[in-house]
A = this chain, B = another copy of it.
Amino acid sequence: MAQKPSIPKGTRDFGQLEMARRNYIFDTIRSVFGLYGFQQIETPAMENIGTLMGKYGEEGDKLLFRIQNSGEKAASAPEKGLRYDLTVPFARYVVQHREEIAFPFKRFQIQPVWRADRPQKGRYREFYQCDVDVIGSDSLIGELELIQIVEEVYRRLGIRVCLHINNRKILAGIAEVIGAPDKIVDITVAIDKLDKIGVEAVNAELKERGLSDEQVEALQPILKPTPTLPEGRENDPKAKLASLREYLAGSEIGLKGVAEMEEIFDELSIVNCQLSIDLDLCLARGLNYYTGAIFEVKALDAQIGSITGGGRYDNLTGIFGLPNVSGVGISFGADRIYDVLTELNLFPAALQSSTQVLFAAFGQDELRYALRWAKELRANGIAVEVYPEPAKMKKQMGYADTKQIPFVAIVGGDEMAQNKVMLKNMTSGEQELMELGELVKTLSC
């Protein structure tokens, strides 16, 4: 009895169309990264278990896939695990190769990661991450370039987005000026929910988390910054920053955060950035990790959450013995970008088939005639298939249909006698007798 084939839950096969579409996303991102001098690295799928353990919290440790050599006893402790993200392997890479690396180090990495999560819609046990970072410089040009990259990637993909930006230093300043510097995590966890649960529920949660009535009251301008800004400028980041500068007057770190944001927005003006940007004081994202700017990108025309995110960090490599290396990075969510492009019907139609023409022959002589023509077309860079046997024309046409090949070049005795082929346009159904030169010209368009 043969086995019924299947794959592990939470994993996926990618067929030809999915691969063409995924490659379109990755190629677009990769070419934009290249314009900014980011270069690709790859790390092994498996890392030593010590490299991974303790880096993702107790919950994360449980989601690691561990690897055993088949020869090893089942009871012996596995020494390796599959990578859980690209961040920890990147930190490990930077420290391990620090003598060879030219800093600032601008790298990107596009590889799968594995998590033993409970599989559910849109959550997989194997999925690709696409991370871009510059490490070894605290210049805000890092932030600037990542924002420019976001602008250009989504411009090329045709997705309208808004970039939400915040700064950990501003959040720390807010906690300071309301007199609760030790409550920064509680504050951010609560205000992060503002969009979902509204201001009343946020205030209730803040009190539950130990803030006094006065502290919650003092926080209100942050939760409703709009009224403090002139009409029509409620969403103007520079006006928001000016208002924040007053609010944070008593906090050195808060003012530093405002200054950083002002510099970033100044530079964005200099490069004439057209991206829609929202200074979003409720944005937190993995707060304990980020130390400066925090980014999150949302698609405007799809309800799908964040499709890109990241921020500035100062101690990524400390755990591996290289402290105080500042960097900034973002991660593009390939699966979600794929879903947005699908939902909005934005994938180029040409991805359906890479083949431009199928040769369909009536007999063995015609088949050999087709092989010669196919060779000439390929020498001109045209993707060609030759149906490999003189099957019934209906079958050959069906193959072209299924693979969505736009043209079929039919070869029978008449065509051979005239040194031509009959080119059928599979969309319009039109047919035309053509010489080789004409065929090359038609298919090169």
Q: Which residues of A contact B (CB under 8 A)?
A: 2-8, 11-16, 19-20, 23, 34-37, 39-48, 50-51, 61-71, 74-82, 92-93, 95-97, 100, 102, 104, 106-107, 112, 114, 116, 126, 134, 137, 139, 141-142, 144-145, 148, 152, 267, 270-272, 318-322, 354-355, 358, 367-368, 371-372, 374-375, 378, 381-386, 388-389, 399, 402-403, 405
Q: For A63, what are the chain B residues with a Cβ–Cβ distance below 8 Å?
A: 70-71
A6, A126, A322, A358: which has the most chain B beta carbons within 10 Å? Answer: A6
Q: For A78, what are the chain B residues with a Cβ–Cβ distance below 8 Å?
A: 68, 74
Q: Is the CB of B41 within 8 A of A378?
A: no
Q: For A4, what are the chain B residues with a Cβ–Cβ distance below 8 Å?
A: 320-321
Q: Is the CB of B65 within 8 A of A66?
A: no
Assembled-state Cα–Cα distance A71/B79 (Å): 15
Q: Is the CB of B65 within 8 A of A8?
A: no
Q: A3-B321, A8-B48 are in contact. Are A386 and B141 (CB under 8 A)?
A: yes
Assembled-state Cα–Cα distance A328/B99 (Å): 46
Assembled-state Cα–Cα distance A319/B2 (Å): 6
**A144: min CB distance to chain B, Å:** 7
**A314: min CB distance to chain B, Å:** 16
Q: Is the CB of B37 within 8 A of A14?
A: no
Assembled-state Cα–Cα distance A388/B136 (Å): 10
CB < 8 Å neighbour of A37 from B5, B35, B139, B384: B384
Assembled-state Cα–Cα distance A4/B65 (Å): 22
Of chain B, the residue at the smallest CB distance from A318 is: B2
Q: For A39, what are the chain B residues with a Cβ–Cβ distance below 8 Å?
A: 16, 19-20, 354
A8, A71, A116, A402: which has the most chain B beta carbons within 10 Å? Answer: A8
Q: For A11, what are the chain B residues with a Cβ–Cβ distance below 8 Å?
A: 44-46
Assembled-state Cα–Cα distance A358/B372 (Å): 48
Q: A139-B388, A141-B388, A142-B388 are in contact. Are A41 and B16 (CB under 8 A)?
A: yes
Of chain B, the residue at the smallest CB distance from A380 is: B35
Q: Is the CB of A13 within 8 A of B37?
A: no
Q: Is the CB of A399 within 8 A of B102?
A: yes
Assembled-state Cα–Cα distance A35/B375 (Å): 10
CB < 8 Å neighbour of A368 from B47, B69, B267, B389: B267
Q: A39-B20, A75-B74, A384-B37 are in contact. Are A44 and B318 (CB under 8 A)?
A: no
Q: Is the CB of B383 within 8 A of A34?
A: yes
CB < 8 Å neighbour of A16 from B14, B35, B40, B104: B40
Q: Is the CB of B141 within 8 A of A371?
A: yes
CB < 8 Å neighbour of A41 from B14, B44, B384: B14
**A39: min CB distance to chain B, Å:** 4
